[in-house]
Amino acid sequence: MIADKEKASKDYASGNIKVLEGLEGVRLRPAMYIGSTSKTGLHHLVWEIMDNAVDEAMGGYCDEIKVSINKDGSVTVEDNGRGIPVESHPIYKRPAVEIVVTKLHAGGKFDKSNYKVSGGLHGVGISVVAALSKLMKVVIKKGGKIYQQEYKIGKPVYDLKIVGECEKKDTGTIVTFWPDDSIFSTLKFDFSVLETRFREIALLNKGLKIILSEESSGKKETFHFEGGLIEFVKWMNKGKEEVHKPIYFLKEESGIVVEVSIQYNTTYQENVLSFVNTINTVEGGTHVAGFKTAVTRAINDYANKNKLNKDENLTGDDVREGLTAVISVKVPEPQFEGQTKTKLGNNEVKGIVDSICMTYLTMFFEENPTIAKRIVSKSIEAQKARNAAKKAKDLVRRKNAFSVGGLPGKLADCSSNKTEESELYIVEGDSAGGSAKMARNKEYQAILPLKGKPLNVEKANSVKVFSNEEIMNIITATGTGVGEQFDVAKLRYSKIIIMSDADVDGAHIRTLLLTFFFRFMPKLIENGNIYIAVSPLYKVRKRVDHYVYTEDELKKIVSKLGGNVNVQRFKGLGEMNPEQLWDTTMNPKTRLLNKVTIEDAAKTNEVFSKLMGDDVEPRRQFIAERAHEAQIDI
Ligand code: TTJ
C-alpha cells in the first residue's frame, strides 16, 4: 500500500509537504534505502535504529543498549543516552524529534557537531524506518520528563506529549516499531542474525553493554566485553592453537583513531577483519592496506636486522599465514567505495594506519624477541611452502598440457564456448552427477561431479591444496587460475552453480566449496558468478506433480490440495530421475538459483572458520541448525 499523496497533504501542514514527498519515495522504492524488502531489508531496520544508539555510545554518552523482539512482532531499542532533543526546531518550528523521525536524511545525527564519528553506511536515518513501519513509538526521557510521540507510516499520530515524570538523571531514548506487512515479504526477526551483529558491535566498543532478548522464546543474551578487540581476536582463534598472547594498541593521529589487535595461530589461513566506525569493511580499503604494509615491513625489518632470513624478503602472503587480526578505525568522514560500499576510500588513512602500526610493532618486537622470532620463523615456513607449491603448480600445469584441452577427465563440458551463456554445475556425488549429465542441456551446461567432501582449504597448506585432485579439477574447469595468475578474462562459464543435497552433508559441502571460492577466487563471488542451486525437498502428487522446496510450503500445499495426496521425499539429488532433476533444479525457466554475495561468503567463512576446532559435534550441530541460512536472498 502506497501513501495517497492527496490525502497525505491534507493531513499535513503545508510547510511539511517536501518532507512527505521524501518519505513517499521511501515507500515507493524501499530497496533503494534498505537494500531489499526481504529478510535482509527487514533486519536493516534494526541496524538503522541501533546505529543511532551506538553513535550515542561512541560519543561517550551511553553505556547500555537493550533490544527486544516483542511477541507482537515489533522491536524495541532502548539506550541510556542523552535522549533525542525535544525542543522546537528553529526553522520547522516543530519538536526536533518530530523532524528527526519525519524528515528524510535528518537521521539521528541531528546536530552533527555533537558527533565525532558515526556509522556512515547504514545512516539513512530513523525516518526511513518510520516510513516503512505501520506504527512507530518514540519515548524520550530527558530533564525529568517522559515525552512520547507515535507515527504511522512516518506521519505523526499526535503532537509530542509529556506522559510522565522520571528522575532527572534517568535519560534515554526508547524506539519501538512495527514493520509494515504491505512492504516486507517476511516480518520475522531472526535472533541469531541480531546476536551476531550485536556481539560484533559490543566487541568493537569495549565497555558497551548490549542486552538482546526475545519475548516469545524467553531467550536473552548480554554482550559486554571489557577487553574489546583483544577478546575479539581470542574469540576468532577459539579452538586453534595460538602462537602468542594478543598484541594490542590504540592510537589517535590527526583525528583518526586506530585500534588493532593481532594474534597468530598455527593454521595457514589469514583472518583479518576490518571495521570503520564499527561497520565491517568486507572489501577492505586504505586502512587494511596501511596495516598490511606495516606488518610486512616490520617483520622483514626485524628478520633482516637479526639475520634470521637468508632468503629473499618475505612477501605479504608469507607474513600473513596464520595471522588473525582485527583493525578498527574511527574516521570522521568515511568514504565508502566498492561494489557493496564496504571498502574504505579515504587516502589519508593509509599512511596514518601504516605509521602507527609500524611504530608499535617495531617496538613490540624489540621488547618481545621470543614472540618476534616465532612469527619470523612461521613466515619463513610459509615462504618455503610457497616455493614448494609453485613447483607443484608448475608440475600440474605441465601434466595438464598432455590431457585433452587441459580439462579434467571427469568434466562433461558443454559444446558452447561462449562464456556468457555457459554454466558449470558442480554436483555432489557421482550418482547425482550421472543424472545431471543425462538431464542437462549439452549446448550450454557442463557438469563436474565431486567425489565425497571437498578439501577444507582452511585447514590445508598450499602444497596440499594444489595437489588435491578435486580442487585442481575445479580450478582447471573454471579456467581462471588462482592467486597472482587469476585472470577473470579466462573464465569459461558465467554461472558456476553448486548443486548439493538438501541435508546436513550437502550444507557442509556447500560451505566447503564457498570457502574455497572465497579464499581462492573471491573475484568470481564479487562479480556474481557463483550460485547455489535450490533443489526440492518433496514431490507432492495429486493428478499433477508439485515440487516443494520447504517444510512450510509442504504443509500449505497438502492442506490446499485437501489431503489424500502422495508425498515423496527426496533424500538426495541422486533420488531424482534426470527428468525430475531437469524440471526442478536445472531448467533455467523453472529452477531456483541463489546468487552468492561476498558478504554471504565472508559470513559463511567467518562462522565456519570459527568452528574449525577439532570438536566435530558442535560443528555438525551448528551446520544442521543453520543449513537453511546457506540459502540466501535472491
Ligand atoms: C543529539 O544531540 C544532542 C543530544 O542528543 C543527541 C541524540 O540524538 N542522542 C540520541 C539519539 N541518543 N539516542 C538516540 C537514539 C536512540 C535510539 C534507540 C534510537 C534513535 C533513533 C536515536
Q: Quick: pLDDT tens for 151-210.
A: 999 999 999 999 999 999 999 999 999 999 999 999 999 999 999 999 999 999 999 999
CB 145 within 8 A of CB 54: no
Confidence of residue 531 (pLDDT cuts 50, 70, 90): very high
Q: Which residue among 231, 421, 503, 599 is the active-site one? A: 503
154, three cell numbers? 512516518
Cα-to-centroid distance, 275 and ligand 1 (Å): 22
Pocket test for ligand 1, best of 48, 54, 55, 84 (most atoms within 8 A of CB): 84
Q: Please report the atom of ligand 1 found closest to the CA of residue 173.
A: 16
Q: What is the pLDDT of residues 411-437, one digit of tens each?
A: 999 999 899 999 999 999 888 999 999
Mean per-residue pLDDT of the chain: 86
Greater confidence (324 vs 311) lies with 324
Phi/psi at 613 (nearest 5 deg)? -60, 180
Q: Who contacts 618 (Cβ-Cβ below 8 Å, separation ≥6)? A: 611
CATH number of 229-383: 3.30.230.10
Give yes or no: 579 in active site.
Answer: no
Angle between helices 286-305 and 369-400 (to 10 degrees): 110
> Per the residue annotation, which of 221, 505, 575, 629 is the catalytic one?
505
Active-site residue identified among 200, 501, 583, 606: 501
Task: Express each pLDDT in 324-369 by its tens digit.
Answer: 999 999 998 899 998 778 899 999 999 999 999 999 999 999 999 9
Reported confidence tier of residue 253, pLDDT bands at 50, 70, 90: very high
Is 503 an annotated catalytic residue? yes
Structurally, what CATH architecture does the domain formed by 402-535+579-598 represent?
3-Layer(aba) Sandwich (3.40)
Q: Tell how far the Cα of 173 is from the centroid of ligand 1, in angstroms.
A: 6
Which three three-digit cell numbers place residue 31?
530497496
Q: Strand 271-276 to strand 323-330: parallel, antiparallel, or no bridges (unpaired)?
A: parallel
Say which amino acid occupies 101.
V
Separation CA 573–CA 571 (nearest Å): 7
Kindly state the average pLDDT of the residues 142-147: 97
Alpha-carbon Rg for the chain in angstroms: 27
Q: Residue 79 CA: which ligand 1 atom is closest? A: 18
Atom of ligand 1 nearest to the CA of 78: 18
Q: How many degrees, rounded to 5, is the angle at CA 356 between CA 350 and CA 358? A: 95
Half-sphere exposure of 570 (CA within 13 A, CB side): 29
pTM of the model: 0.67
Q: What CATH topology corresponds to 24-224?
A: Heat Shock Protein 90 (3.30.565)
- The ligand 1 site (C-beta within 6 Å) comprises 49, 52-53, 56, 77, 79, 81-82, 84-85, 108, 110-111, 114, 126, 173, 175
Residues with Cβ within 8 Å of 405's Cβ and at least 6 positions away in sequence, in order, are none
Q: Which amino acid is at 17?
A: I
Q: Give percent of the chain with pLDDT exceeding 70.
A: 86
